Chain A
Amino acid sequence: MTLLPIVEWELRVAARRRGTFWIRTAFALGTIAIGFFVWLDNRFSPPNVFGQELFGAFADLSVFYCLTCGLRSTADCLSEEKREGTLGLLFLTDLRGRDIILGKLAATSFAGIYALLATFPILAIPLVMGGVAVETFWRILLLLVNTTVLSLAVGIFVSAVSRSSRKAIVGTLGLLLLLGAGLPIVAGLLYDLMPSHKSALGDSLLLTCPFFCANRALQDGSNRTASHDFWWSFGVMHGLVWLFLGLACFIVPRSWQDRPRTTRSQRWREFWQSLAYGTETRRKSIRTRMLDRNPVFWLGARTRLKAALVWGTLASVMALWVLGYLLAGQEWLCEGTYLPLAILLNSALKLWFAFEAGRNLADDRNSGALELVLSTPLSVGAMLRGQWMALRGQFLGPILAVIGLHLILLAASLQRESFHAQPINPVLWVSFILLLAADVIALGWVGLWGGLNARKPSQLIGMTFIRILAAPWILFLLISILASAFIDDNPSEPVLNWKFHVGLWFGLGLLLDLAFGLQAALHLHTSFRALALQRYSPVPSPLARWFRRPKLSD
């Protein structure tokens, strides 16, 4: 009898995959590059201080990476099988829920865990430098493995209860955010609002947060309280792993079957349909009007709930801000809350936009509907125009509202800066507005291009997020560290001020928007049909082509 047959099969497949080994190399190189930049920032520090800084930076980044593993790997693994109807086939064999869950876990997480393993030897370098205790090193290693498994377990649990890819991804993100940030924020509020209860409830809410656990692990080994907190937090997170895996094993065999609709569920369905699409008369009038303008526009914009959800999210963020104002009074009215509000609104809007931009095309491509549309006289230009019209219908209002909000905050900033000789804030607000507009246009093109390229919805978000939103910040950080190092080594050079930093951030954002946006737009206009048919003849990426092992026949 073979124990865990799917796990064994998946491990054999992964062991033969070239990417598995390249990922390990790439992660080791990436960790070394991060180490170089940490060294640049601490090169005048004694070795033990540098060792501590390096280890702390590695630990924090690794914890973040591990926490997002589930989002990348397991969030849509079971829901995708449910949508495609293949999960039921597995249950026709003598496989049990446990086999499927552990098999899926192994299959989807292999690359991520392998990449993490590659960073462990580099994590040990600070041990040689001093400043990091052996105990601390092992604790962090344990924590990283625990966090990875927790994240994967969360993803697989949400995937087991979901069918739609969007719900699975949003659910996983929500649950991970709750564990990593939501509960610590509630703990902070409890500390603040109810000081008398802080020791009991607030402390226990922090235990699910991997960053809290990392913080405790990085404390001095002789700190008994920190050690106690670390093991409790580790234990709680590990308990959650088994809880989520157990729930997933229990749910999977019960969630894949199609069940006959009851009157109640049918009524719910009709209610949601009328809410999303409107009454019969409305649907008809919209269809007539939109189809005349652009059929793709009608496909993308017929759901009125989409726009309502964006408005609802913006309203919720604003309501939280107003609640903060009501609690804190006029002290709330400073850039300390304005800037996080703007960053939150902009990021939420941009991420949503990136996802929506490519989702329709990705869904149509996967279902084969895109092929049907391409066989009609509808031109590529008209299809892209239709997509943009649908995006405009969903997002133009919220984007204008956010820009209006930024203008009000710009006015507040000008009002305050009239007696502070610091024009940094007005400049920041103008940059925010311009970058929001530029990012949205670039995200639209990159998202549409990603919709034709991405194999999975999580990949679609990752592609657009990394290109337009994360890359400018990463480059900004690296250039800032390099520039600061150069200035430190050349005292005759002028000191870097806010103009340099704001200019660099704005310039990089605009440059990458232009580069990626134009590239995506060009690709879409020139090779839309080729991209759409890629799933039948996949074209390897330039990077994959570069590392391809020559076949014997070559």
Chain B
Amino acid sequence: METWGRALGVAILLALLIGFAWIVLRPHEPTFQGRPLSSWMEEAAASGAYRSTPRPTGYTLPADAALRSLGASAIPLLLHLAGTSQTPFRGLVGNMAESPALDYLHLPPQNYKQYMAVRGFELLGPEARPAVPQLARLLAHHDHEVQVIALRCLAALGPDARDAVPAIIQLMGNVRAGNGSLWRLSMEAAQVLGEIGPAASAAIPSLMVETNEAALLALIRIRGGSFDPFFERLRDSSNGEQWMRTANQVFRLGAAAEAAVPLIIPALDHTNQSIRFQAIALLGHIHRRPDLCLPALTPLLQSPDDQDREQALLALGNFGPDARSASSEVVRLLRDRSQSIRSNATNVLNLIDPEAALRARPKPKSKPHDSPAHR
């Protein structure tokens, strides 16, 4: 009897150990080149890729390649990232994860999770359509930050997020019924509806009630009207806040805002630094009309202000080979006093003029033992 009891105990123990091994060792997510997807994304987060906002077009992260390769199988992880609430404990873990001394603990970075999720859905595009119902469910989450991220993920999917329109309308209704402090939510919701376009026509009555720029633009996009009246708001930069709000919405249109370029260029000389930066970033993001943009942006590469030079450099990078005429100025920035500008200049030169980049590459010094005297 006692032997049987002991055998049973050993069997239970073995079963528990096997259960623990199953929890710890089984693959929890899809892998790319033998590494889990989160590991690629964590590496990108650790390198600061999700921290610095502007990145020249054409520069892809290894994590982006992993995401594109894995396709729809990455959706569960992206949904998990999007649905994570930021709590004090997560904040603590996130700070520890950023400490190089604790690198060996492999703590999951917390501070850029949401950006990872949005970036992931941007890259997957229509492939991520099966995630729409779950993202719509996140709109009812108790944490407003999660709601905002779910909206941004839906916006990244564009017209493929049309199934989420009823949930977005309901969210806008709840925000209106609340104390009005959640205006950011209604703006983000309007932006999603604008990205969805005509398929979101059911939301027109809800948008009509809103007064913000996002709702205005969303209505134009849903109805298929002309953007020109909206762009006209950029002509007057005397009210800085309103100009910035309008510019933020124009930014979302990307290349479709080509007609706004002549209205943005005057803002490059604005005395307000925020407006100036936004104008530079907008021109780079739209990257149309190089005939107008390059003569306006290239002189900024000689600006005494480090940030002006860097923003202009990144904007020019987005024009690709069209900005070849600025390559001599970019080559000069390879010896800039700012390390960040030097590094960005290398990347941008590769994008706009690969031949100039080759010529500018420092020649490898011959090793002493290679010289004839040492042979």
Contact = CB atoms under 8 A, between A and B. Distances in A.
Do chains A and B stick together as partners?
Answer: yes
Interface of A: 188, 191-192, 195, 198, 318, 322, 325, 329-331, 333-336, 339, 397, 401, 404-405, 408-409, 411-412, 415-416, 418-420, 422, 424-425, 498
A484 B229 CA distance: 67
B134 to A, nearest CB: 15
Contacts of B16: 318
Contacts of B90: 192
Given A404-B17, A405-B20, A408-B21, A192 B106 contact: no
5 contacts: A191-B89, A192-B88, A325-B23, A331-B108, A408-B21
Nearest to A189: B89
A339 B103 CA distance: 13
Interface in B20-48: 20-21, 23-25, 28-29, 34-35, 38-39
Contacts of B87: 191-192, 195
Interface string B96-123: 1000000111111000000000000000
B24 A336 contact: no
A188 B105 contact: no
A408 B39 contact: no
B179 to A, nearest CB: 15
A401 B103 CA distance: 29
Given A188-B88, A325-B23, A411-B21, A334 B108 contact: yes
Interface-centre pick from B80, B87, B106 (highest chain A CB count, 10 A): B106
Contact of A419 (B24, B39, B103): B39
B93 interface: yes
B6 to A, nearest CB: 10
A502 B122 CA distance: 43
Nearest to B104: A424
A202 to B, nearest CB: 9
A223 B166 CA distance: 49
Given A195-B87, A397-B13, A339 B105 contact: yes
A167 to B, nearest CB: 27
A424 B105 CA distance: 10
Contacts of B96: 336
Contacts of A404: 17
A401 B25 contact: no
B34 A408 contact: no
A192 B92 CA distance: 11
Interface-centre pick from B9, B38, B39, B89 (highest chain A CB count, 10 A): B89
Interface of B: 9, 13, 16-17, 20-21, 23-25, 28-29, 34-35, 38-39, 80, 87-90, 93, 96, 103-108
Interface residues of A: mostly helix, strand, loop or mixed? helix
Contact of B104 (A333, A335, A405): A335
A376 to B, nearest CB: 29
A252 to B, nearest CB: 42
Contacts of B89: 188, 191-192
Given A191-B87, A191-B88, A335-B104, A329 B80 contact: yes
Given A334-B107, A336-B93, A422-B104, A318 B20 contact: yes
Contacts of A415: 25
A308 to B, nearest CB: 10
A288 B114 CA distance: 67
A401 B21 CA distance: 13
B106 A420 contact: yes
A412 B21 CA distance: 9
Contacts of A198: 88
B24 A333 contact: yes
Contact of B106 (A334, A411, A498): A334
A210 B54 CA distance: 47
B169 to A, nearest CB: 27
A333 B107 CA distance: 9
B24 A409 contact: yes
A282 to B, nearest CB: 8
Given A195-B87, A329-B80, A412 B104 contact: no
A318 B20 CA distance: 9
A293 to B, nearest CB: 15
A335 B90 CA distance: 16
A333 B27 CA distance: 11
